[in-house]
Amino acid sequence: MADMNLISVEVAYALPDKQKIVAVLVEPGTTAMQAVIRSNITNDFPEINLETDKMGIFGQNLGTKGLLPAREHVLQSGDRVEIYRPLTADPKEVRRRRAEKAKAEAGKAR
């Protein structure tokens, strides 16, 4: 029989070609980091670095904008902890290149 005091949360990780969402039952008061560890998601994705990879709840980065870091953020029933991969390209550099390309193409069209 399931313990009625447990809450249900999810832990998610995605690569370009593979993703996984793990449902986990945890005790009230469980932090995001504890749920990630309990999910054993690192067995499927050994490249996850729990010390350096950023985490969030429904797209909101933990440790920013008033949210506590993953080791301190207490989960609510229904929360989904997302583990974010490191960026492969600097977003500012990508935007700069895109703007240069658009400017060059606009100059050709004249």
SS3 81: strand
Give the model confidence (pLDDT) of 19-76 as tens digits.
999 999 999 999 999 999 999 999 999 999 999 999 999 999 999 999 999 999 999 9
**What global pTM score does this model have?**
0.76
In the block, tokens 């249900």 appear at: 8
Cα separation of 55 and 100, whole Å? 33
Element (H, E) at 9: strand 7-14
Q: How many residues does the chain have?
A: 110
Q: What are the distances in angstroms from CA 83 to CA 26, 40, 66, 76, 105?
A: 18, 13, 18, 17, 38
Give the model confidence (pLDDT) of 84-106 as tens digits.
987 666 778 778 888 888 888 87
